[in-house]
Amino acid sequence: MAANSTYIGAGTSLSSDFYKRNFYISNRDAATSSKRRNLTGSKLSLADGMALRRAVKKLGSMEFSKEKDADIRNAVSACIETYNNAITSAADSGDHNLERTQKQMKAIANEYADELDKIGITVNSDGTMTKRDSLFGSASLEKFENLFSKDSDFMQRTSSCAKRIERRSETLILTEQNQKKQQKGAAAAVAGLATGAGPDLELLLNTGVGKNVNLSL
């Protein structure tokens, strides 16, 4: 995982933690390691997908100038952490579509491994990235711009993957919510039968209970 270092410029700069919190504005718990374990897989991958898209958008709007040197490095540092989260949650999701997108992200990162290495970012075998602080803090901004500006092929393709993670996670969450509703309805129908209240045929059919059951009324 990337080390959480903050680079200080001559003027006022925003920390990498600030940028990361901003990326995870839709779900702040997903930005904290201790709280991530409390989130379900689909909610976690959704938060990571949204955060990574926001990270790409933010870097695309930034000015890669000497005056913004520290801000650029801090934003990229936060982006790497967000990227690592997205890679990890997609790989651990157990969902084929998310796992496939994670593999695509790994392939993209491997294509740019040499360029990333030149600014102090190592692409690991699992697809995550690790910063080497000395080179990361001293590499030229031009090299950062080539990789992380809005015109960068690397960032555009990464953003597309993040969008797919976001959409698939939304679908999974909706499916989970519908399943819970069906289970709740089925439980209510069964409870009605147990108490002698009589079966609610519409409820039984809508929840799937009784579709293959013959009832004597």
| Residue 125 CB coordination number (10 Å) | 7
Give me the pLDDT at residue 183, please: 76
Nearest to 215 by CA among 202, 184, 181: 202
- Mean pLDDT calculated for residue range 46-54: 98
Give the residue with greater pLDDT, 214 vs 9. Answer: 9
Give me the pLDDT at residue 179, please: 81
- pLDDT over 60 at 1, yes or no: no
Give me the pLDDT at residue 13, please: 85
- Global confidence as pTM: 0.81
pLDDT tens digits, 170-193: 999 999 888 888 777 777 667 766
Is 37 in contact with 92 (CB distance < 8 Å)? no
Query: How does residue 217 score in pLDDT terms, banded at 50, 70 and 90?
Result: very low
Give me the pLDDT at residue 119, please: 98
| Cβ contacts of 180 within 8 Å, gap of 6 or more | none
Within the chain, strands assigned E span: 121-123, 129-131
Is 20 in contact with 82 (CB distance < 8 Å)? yes
- pLDDT over 70 at 207, yes or no: no
